[in-house]
Structure 1
Amino acid sequence: MKTMFGANELKQTRFYQDVFAEGEQKGKLEGRQEGKLETIPQLLALGLSIEQIAEVLGLDEQLVRQAAQP
């Protein structure tokens, strides 16, 4: 016998809760990285090097170089 879940029942399942939490966490991480990337031009304007910025922000130097290009 197949049972269809309604929206409320689906939200109560462990699977839904795990997937929702995983998506929320991924969104937070992406948001943090985006915020770091947005600060790169300002840090360059202050005279920091690509290497210094990468170290301070915990980013790969290549990623910092890409973000620094107009």
Structure 2
Amino acid sequence: MRFDPWNPEFIANPYGVYAELRRERPVAFFEPTGQWLVARHAEAAPGLELTREPEWGPGYVIRGLRSLPVSV
């Protein structure tokens, strides 16, 4: 099964897909929603730290992530 947040099987048990994402594609662009998926803490932590700074709040981080090229 692949990452599909609308699939009833995924909703019932997403953990195998999450493990595969962590192993194979820890940072991936999800075309249907135009969002980046970050599956491992090591890759997510630096971005999450930025949200603690007033000028880098959640809205800024989201806007910045949307502007990243797919190849990142």
- Per the TM superposition, whether the score is higher than 0.5 is no
Larger radius of gyration: 1
Higher share in strand? 2
With the length of structure 2 as denominator, give the TM-score of the two structures.
0.30
Greater per-residue helix proportion: 1
The normalised TM-score by structure 1 is 0.30
Higher relative contact order, structure no. (Cα contacts within 8 Å, ≥ 6 residues apart): 1
